[in-house]
Each structure stands twice: as structure tokens, then as C-alpha cells.
């Protein structure tokens, strides 16, 4: 009999047809300046920053510019979060683990990369206590009970903001956005459905960086481009607000030096405990 991963067990047990109205969007971006910026940050800080880290920073700036997605809905009312927290998905022994980085908007991209690397290293080495507890709980709970248990736990943690240390579940466990890279799997782009128990209003998928023809000042040039897709909960935001978010996001990716002119030069070299970067 084929073994089922914990992630697969979760997916099967919690699947249901979509019940809420969602918005789907895609944007293809010129990442020429982004690549120069990432090279400069690597040189100035010693951190292995990647395009996925920059997407996380861009999402946080978008959430700050249009905060309608940065919060929770409880009993029919919207409650904003104080910081823009972003979750990156990390591959771990055939399963997917979450690594939530708090206040991404208030941190430099090199700091985000260092924190994410340390977080991912704990998960992959089996040293992350919360991840181990949550995986053990999922393995022990029968499949037919997983959906109600996760739904109720997700509501308590995601909506009420309660902690469940015994199960390895933290309050607002996924923040306001989940980011994952499909480019590292060889896909140009992809769309993802919401995970019911995560209670997060925004999913962002980062596609592969590829050379493509781009019109620049009326001339066709070959430039590195990347497609980013998003699944958005329409209850949180409308088109006008989404336009504001998209503008801040696009500016950060296509003109990152306008956001960080010194490319982290003042930070100095940051510690790097682990050699593998999540989402790279």
C-alpha cells in the first residue's frame, strides 16, 4: 500500500468545493533591476537573498499601501493586523511546512532572508518543536475527523487569535499572505486554491525567471521576466484597493532601488546559520 504524506492526508481530509468569491490575477514583470538589486544585497550583506524574498517584501509593501487584506474577519467585521506578516512555504521530507515571518514590511530583505533560512533549517533538521507537534497531531487524528478538528482549530487560532501550543498551532498562524515558488519546480506560473483552515486572504505563487522579448522605449529587447499569480479573497478587498496594492507590489519588484537605494549596504554582514534558503 502506498504511503500517504502528512500534507496529502491534510489535502484529502480538508478538500471541499469553493464556497466564497475569489479574485484571480497574474502579472508578468521585468526583473532586470531586481536581479541587480539582489546581487548588490548579497554583496553588501552576505545573505543569499532570492527573488522569492523580494516578492515577500513587495507583498508586505502592498499590504501596507492597501491594508484591506491585512487583517481578519470575525463575526462579520474586519479587524486589521498591526504588522504585515507573510508565510513562506518550505519543503520538508515530502511535506510542506509554513514559515511565518512577522513584520516583513518593517524588515530589510536581508533580514527576512536570514530569518527564513534559520526557520527553514529548524524545520528540515527536525528541531522546530511546533512543526513536529502539528505533524504528530495530524498523523494521530483519523482522516474523517481532520476536517472538523482543523476547521474549529483554525477558527479559534485564525479568527479569535488563540494559541494551541500542545498542537503546535500559533495565533494567526499564516499571517495575511502565503507565498510559494513554483518556478523552482520548473513552472512558468500556476494558481493555488485556499486552504480552508489557514484563514488567509491572499496566496501568491512565484513563477520561473526566463528571458523573453520586452518592448523598451519602442524597441524589442530580451529581458529576464517573471510571472506572479495571486488568489485573493474578494470579501477583504475590491478592485480599487487591489489596484493600490498591485502598484506598490510592482514598483518594489521592477524598481527595488527606489525602495532601498543603498541595497542594504548599511546593514553589514548578517549571520547565516543555514546554507539552504527556503523558496529559492
Span 177-204, pLDDT tens digits? 999 999 888 888 988 888 877 888 999 9
Strand bridging mode 177-181 / 95-101: unpaired
Which is it for the CA torsion 34, 40, 42, 45, positive or negative?
negative
Q: What is the pTM of this model?
A: 0.84
CATH architecture of 21-259: 2-Layer Sandwich (3.30)
Query: CB within 8 A of 239, min separation 6: which ones?
Result: none
For residue 280, what pLDDT band results from cuts at 50, 70 and 90?
very low
pLDDT at 1: 38
Which 3 state secondary structure label does DSSP give 231?
strand
Worst-scoring range by mean pLDDT, 220-224, 270-274, 275-279? Answer: 275-279
Place of cell 493555488: 192
Query: CB within 8 A of 7, min separation 6: which ones?
Result: 94, 95, 96
Domain boundaries, the chain: 21-259
Place of cell 484529502: 12
Over residues 212-225, the pLDDT tens digits come to 998 888 899 999 99
Worst-scoring range by mean pLDDT, 76-80, 103-107, 159-163, 234-238? Answer: 159-163
Amino acid at each position: 500500500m502506498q504511503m500517504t504524506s502528512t500534507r496529502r492526508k491534510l489535502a484529502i481530509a480538508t478538500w471541499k468545493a469553493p464556497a466564497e468569491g475569489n479574485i484571480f490575477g497574474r502579472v508578468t514583470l521585468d526583473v532586470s533591476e531586481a536581479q541587480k538589486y539582489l546581487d548588490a544585497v548579497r554583496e553588501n550583506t552576505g545573505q543569499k537573498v532570492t527573488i522569492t524574498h523580494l516578492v515577500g517584501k513587495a507583498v508586505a509593501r502592498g499590504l501596507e499601501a492597501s491594508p484591506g487584506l491585512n487583517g481578519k474577519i470575525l463575526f462579520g467585521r474586519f479587524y486589521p493586523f498591526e504588522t504585515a506578516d507573510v508565510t513562506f512555504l518550505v519543503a520538508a521530507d515530502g511535506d510542506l511546512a509554513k514559515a511565518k515571518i512577522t513584520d516583513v514590511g518593517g524588515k530589510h530583505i536581508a533580514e527576512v532572508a536570514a530569518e527564513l533560512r534559520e526557520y527553514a533549517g529548524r524545520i528540515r533538521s527536525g528541531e522546530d518543536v511546533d512543526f513536529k507537534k502539528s505533524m504528530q497531531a495530524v498523523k494521530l487524528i483519523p482522516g474523517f475527523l481532520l476536517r472538523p478538528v482543523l476547521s474549529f482549530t483554525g477558527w479559534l487560532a485564525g479568527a479569535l487569535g488563540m494559541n494551541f501550543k500542545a498542537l503546535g498551532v500559533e495565533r494567526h498562524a499564516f499571517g495575511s499572505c502565503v507565498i510559494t515558488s513554483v518556478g523552482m519546480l520548473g513552472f512558468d506560473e500556476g494558481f493555488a486554491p485556499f486552504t480552508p483552515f489557514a484563514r488567509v486572504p491572499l496566496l501568491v505563487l512565484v513563477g520561473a525567471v526566463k528571458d523573453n522579448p520586452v518592448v523598451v522605449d519602442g524597441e524589442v529587447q530580451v529581458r529576464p521576466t517573471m510571472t506572479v499569480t495571486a488568489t485573493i479573497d474578494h470579501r477583504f478587498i475590491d478592485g480599487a484597493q487591489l489596484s493600490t496594492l498591485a502598484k506598490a507590489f510592482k514598483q518594489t519588484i521592477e524598481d527595488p532601488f527606489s525602495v532601498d537605494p543603498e541595497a542594504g549596504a548599511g546593514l553589514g554582514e548578517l549571520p547565516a546559520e543555514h546554507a539552504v534558503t527556503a523558496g529559492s
